[in-house]
Structure formats: structure tokens, C-alpha cells
Amino acid sequence: MECGEFDKRNKEYYKNFNAEKYFQKLIGSCGNKTSDWRELVIFDVGAHHGESADFFYRTFPGATIYSFEPNPKAASQIIEKNIPGNQVFELALTDFNGKAVFNLQDISHLSSLSLINRKSHDSLGYAEREEHESIQVETIRGDEFANRYEIPKIDLLKVDVQANEVKTIKGFSGIISMVKIVFVEVSFYDFYTQKSSISEVESALPGFEIYDIYEVSKNPKSLGVDWATLVYKNTGFKG
């Protein structure tokens, strides 16, 4: 079904879409020379196996990338990639400093501080047969980490933490005004024992406005939305 002009505009958008160009425009295009990106600071929170870190290195050569991944095996895989400019920390970023139980799922990218909801209606059967191992991990607030390592600003904060996104963003509350862009995957479905809402995310981002809905995952069973990646810009950023 087509209505109005938005379908034509979307087709033109995807015809011209390029992920590298998108992120360079999002951050603020400075050309292609390595020196142009040397002051760029990127936080990759929920780094998994370093897929995003590798993409950010290729898109912003010379940038400093901080990868946060509490899964020891996954963190070691990022280190083995030896991505230039990438520093890897075996930490879970949330809203407190200390320790927490982290659940390693048999499908690794689903690992989370939250447990899978065994009564989930949206999981397409996975919740009933999931297997996980629980380990204890170090946790830290984002603002505490930034202060400890004397990081004055963050140009891009990417958050992919499987239903813990609101708590993770709240952990940056002390320095949120020094964050330029927030790129966050928001969980709406009942897959985990907790889920998020747009209002909760936005209440944790004072001074930010939505720029884009980058990605949406639809559920073939419920016909609703499982998760969406939202992009927010800090309207008062002066870094």
C-alpha cells in the first residue's frame, strides 16, 4: 500500500543510503583524512565481538573507540582483532558501580544483565528452550568511567545492551551534556524480564531531540515491534 509521497522518498533514501556516509553526516563530516577524525571519541557499549568497533574504525580512521563488553570470551575476541584506536574494557555499563550477575545466553548477542522471560509471547519459542550461564561481572557508571579516564566529551554513544538501555543511559547523567549523539537500541518486547519505553529513554536524555529511527525489528507473530534503534542529538552540545 502506497499513500502520499513518503514511499517515493523512502525508496530514494534507501537507493542512496550508505552506512559510512550516514554516520559521517551524523557526527559532522570532516573529510576523509585520518587527521580529521583524531579528536573523535566513540563509546561502543555492548560491543559483542567488535563488529561496531571495526565499522567505526573504518568510518572514522584515527578516532578513539572505547569498547565495553562484560562477556570475557567476547571481549577477548575484540582484543584479538587489534582494531587501531580501540580500547577494550571488560565492564558492564549501567547505573551503579560494583558487581552484577550477567547472563551469557547460548545465542551470544542476546546476553544481558536481564534474564530471558520464560513466559515471553514474543520470543518465537526461544524463551522456552534458552540456555544460559550466569557469571559475576564488574559494573560501572558511564560518567564515573569518563571522569576516571579524564574523557571530556563523547561524540557518539552507541548503546546495545539488551533491555538495560535506560539504566545504562542514566549512568551517564553526570556528563550527559557532554555527549553529542546517542545511538541506542530500545527493547519494547517481552523477551527479557524488563523492557523499555521511548518516554523512559527520553527522560534520561534532557536536552536531546530525536533525529532518526535507524532500524526497526518487526515481530512476525505479534505483528508489533520487538526493538528499534533510535538516534538522538544533543541540541546544546558544545564539545
Domain segments of the chain: what residues?
Answer: 6-95+141-234
> Looking at domain 6-95+141-234, which CATH architecture does it have?
3-Layer(aba) Sandwich (3.40)
Coil vs helix vs strand at 37: helix
- Choose among 169, 161, 187: nearest CA to 95: 169
188 alpha-carbon distance from chain centroid: 15
Are residues 139 and 106 in contact, defined by beta-carbon separation less than 8 angstroms?
no
Residue 13 burial class via C-beta count within 10 angstroms: exposed 0-12, middle 13-18, buried 19 and up: exposed
Q: What is the pLDDT along the chain (239 residues), one digit of tens a residue?
A: 455 566 777 888 888 889 999 999 999 844 445 557 999 999 999 999 999 999 999 999 999 999 999 999 999 999 999 999 999 999 999 999 999 999 999 989 989 999 988 888 888 788 888 889 999 999 999 999 999 999 999 999 999 999 999 999 999 999 999 999 999 999 999 999 999 999 999 999 999 999 999 999 999 888 999 999 999 999 998 76
